[in-house]
Amino acid sequence: MAAQAGGDYQLLDSGNMRKLERIGPYLLVRPSLQAVWQPRLIDSDWQRADGVYERGVTEDGGRWTFHRKVNREFDVLYGDLQFHIKLTNFGHMGLFAEQLDNWNWMRDAIRARMKRTNDRNLYVLNLFGYTGGSTLACSQAGAHCVHVDAAKGVVDWARKNAELSGLHERPIRWIVDDAVKFVKREERRGHTYQAIILDPPTFGRGPKGEVFKIEDDLVPLLQACRSLLADDALFVLYSCHTPGFTPITMRNQLDIVVGGKRGAIEAGEMTVPEQQPDPTRARLLPSGVYARWLAPG
């Protein structure tokens, strides 16, 4: 599954475990452990970068080296959404370009359901929502959204993206909470959703120090998510960046949530294509895996 180019982000080249990206007004180099091949561009093209990120060189996680004046916060348009970008010490920027195809898939599914049923009460739960790309895509299509993340600063960041995208007055609930605890409370309350999105980390901490380890906590979370799916559920999107998780792994895990329900599961790799004059020569940079279920139309 390749995220197509669009807006203010482009992957220009990759190789030697790095990637060369144009993000807004800047040319940046960041690590990419999957890019175990040779770059196509010459060294001088890479040396034009405005900033280079090195992983694990400080206690904060890494370090940016800038070769000219760079504003570490700026806004970009990508996937018909506006994002506030931050060049953080962890190398993340708040934009996950590989999710673009998933955003389009969810928007299409929501709009098709609403057109078919004329029902505007479609509720989406986004767990580990981070800076909100999936939440905003679903909101843009007309859904009511509940966005959950354990970090208040990240939820505030997602809310800023909603404002930039003109979605701040849409029905979105912003929740700072541990995802596992929230899901279990929703289960006890008998709340259900027509769609569930989750992108769990390999390891994470909740707002009160709760520890999430994917090897211990994922299956109970998926089991709880099953009970939150409404009878008229539309889709479940499960994506992950944990090393060793394959599309087959993801498909089998998603079956915990939707097994026995009518509909189809598809699974694959999320990728970002390099920008080439000839699209048929564009290499794909692997950037995580996904599995998704869609109810029959």
Q: Which domains occur in the chain, in start order? A: 9-86 (2.60.40.1180), 97-294 (3.40.50.150)
Question: Please, are residues 233 and 176 in contact by the beta-carbon 8 Å criterion?
Answer: no
* CA–CA–CA angle 274, 89, 73 (5° rounding): 70
Residue 182: name the closest of 198, 158, 161 by CA: 198
Amino acid at 161: N
Per-residue confidence in pLDDT tens, the chain, 297 aa: 545 545 799 999 999 999 999 999 999 999 999 999 999 999 999 999 999 999 876 666 789 999 999 999 999 999 999 999 999 988 889 999 999 999 999 999 999 999 998 877 899 999 999 999 999 999 999 999 999 999 999 999 999 999 999 999 999 999 999 999 999 999 999 999 999 999 998 888 878 778 888 988 899 999 999 999 999 999 999 999 999 999 999 999 999 999 999 999 999 999 999 998 777 788 999 999 999 999 997
Euclidean distance between CA atoms 112 and 114, whole angstroms:
6
* Model confidence, pTM: 0.93
* CA–CA–CA angle 157, 163, 169 (5° rounding): 120
| pLDDT confidence of residue 56 | 75
Question: Please, are residues 183 and 221 in contact by the beta-carbon 8 Å criterion?
Answer: yes
| pLDDT confidence of residue 1 | 59
| pLDDT confidence of residue 59 | 62
SS3 category, 158 = helix
Check residue 172 and report its DSSP letter.
Answer: E
SS3 category, 102 = helix
Amino acid at 12: L
| pLDDT confidence of residue 144 | 97
